[in-house]
Amino acid sequence: MLQLNEIRKTFNAGTVNAKVALDGVTLTLNDGDFVTVIGGNGAGKSTMLNIVAGTYPVDSGTIRLDEEDITALPEYKRARLIGRVFQDPMTGTAADMWIEENLAIAARRGKRHGLGWAITQKERVAYREMLKSLDLGLEDRLSTKVGLLSGGQRQALTLLMATMNHPKLLLLDEHTAALDPKTAANVLALSDKFIEEGKLTALMVTHNMKDAIAHGNRLIMMNAGRIILDVSGEEKKALTVDALLETFAKASGTEFANDRALLA
């Protein structure tokens, strides 16, 4: 269970460029919740994910994950509990290392890295099986440098790395935005599959309203650093893009100014 309590974050505080990114966000995710997050540019969606991941500290408020207060925990220590996939497919994997080496690092996330071999034969067999589930033919390319893969392949691999040791929380930060529509659909389907099979708790930021409605069991909308809509269950299933736009206009007092979301 993830609990955000009154999270505030201002960038460049005290300067003319001060930007309130999160303005008192309170949110509770129950175990198994798959929440999609939408909102205009600068609404605070990515900031919220980065705050949870520990990329930057909060100004005030607390973050608890499974009853553990992780507010002060550095990013690399939170990785024990949290799996992440980034918007840029280049971010989630090490380009200069082989596929199996990337997987080995992910497999040891949150564990001690000692002087044993990075990969054992037994692990290699297991990795091959896992890669088969991606259905991209990567199981025969264990010793290929990740830098040689396409963006979609790298994003699928990152997804596998993020979910393979059953994290308490999975953070997907517009992880299909940089992919072409067909590849994006494949990666989204894989995300659904891993989340369902692993019974994972997940937060997925997206710019695509249709995706936000079609995936997950709960949807939140953000504007100006606040959560302005939180729907789940049957109510969410009944949502339409038009209804969302209307809600946005009502709650924020402005039009939803984002071409990408409108056109999607």
* Minimum separation from the CB atom of position 249 to other proteins (A): 36
Q: Which of 49, 58, 99, 161 binds other proteins (CB under 8 A)?
A: 161
Number of residues written out for the chain:
264
Q: Which two tokens stand for residue 112?
A: 């001690």
Closest CA to 232 of 250, 216, 209: 216
Beta-bridge mates of residue 22: 9
**202 CB-near residues (< 8 Å, 6+ apart):** 33, 34, 35, 169, 170, 171, 172, 191, 195, 216
* Minimum separation from the CB atom of position 101 to other proteins (A): 6
Provide the angle, in degrees to the nearest 10, between the axes of the packed helices 151-163 and 181-197. 10
Kindly indicate which of the ranges 5-13, 57-65, 107-115, 125-133 contains the residues binding other proteins, using the contact rule CB under 8 A. 107-115
- Told to check if 170 binds other proteins by CB under 8 A, we report no
Kindly indicate which of the ranges 61-69, 102-110, 192-200, 243-251 contains the residues binding other proteins, using the contact rule CB under 8 A. 102-110
- Told to check if 109 binds other proteins by CB under 8 A, we report yes
Report the Cα 9 to chain-centroid distance in Å: 19
CB atoms within 10 A of CB 166: 10
- Told to check if 257 binds other proteins by CB under 8 A, we report no
159 φ, ψ (degrees, to nearest 5)? -60, -45
- Told to check if 79 binds other proteins by CB under 8 A, we report yes
- Told to check if 116 binds other proteins by CB under 8 A, we report yes
Instruction: Extract the runs of DSSP E, i.e. beta strands, from 130-247.
Output: 169-173, 202-205, 218-223, 226-232
Provide the angle, in degrees to the nearest 10, between the axes of the packed helices 99-107 and 121-132. 100
Q: Which of 30, 31, 57, 76 binds other proteins (CB under 8 A)?
A: 76
- Told to check if 75 binds other proteins by CB under 8 A, we report yes
* Minimum separation from the CB atom of position 253 to other proteins (A): 36
- Told to check if 148 binds other proteins by CB under 8 A, we report no
Segment 12 to 41, residues that bind other proteins, using CB under 8 A: none
Between 38 and 157, name the residue whose CB sits nearer to other proteins.
157
Pairing relation of β-strands 202-205 and 34-39? parallel
User: To which residue do tokens 């709650």 refer?
Assistant: 251
Q: Which two tokens stand for residue 247?
A: 């809600």
Between 95 and 243, name the residue whose CB sits nearer to other proteins.
95
Beta-bridge mates of residue 35: 203, 218
Between 8 and 124, name the residue whose CB sits nearer to other proteins.
124
Kindly indicate which of the ranges 25-33, 68-76, 126-134, 192-200 contains the residues binding other proteins, using the contact rule CB under 8 A. 68-76
Count of residues near other proteins by CB under 8 A:
32
- Told to check if 72 binds other proteins by CB under 8 A, we report no
Q: Which of 94, 243, 249, 251 binds other proteins (CB under 8 A)?
A: 94
Query: For binding to other proteins (CB under 8 A), which residues are involved?
Result: 53, 74-77, 79-80, 84, 86, 90-97, 101, 104-106, 108-111, 113-118, 161
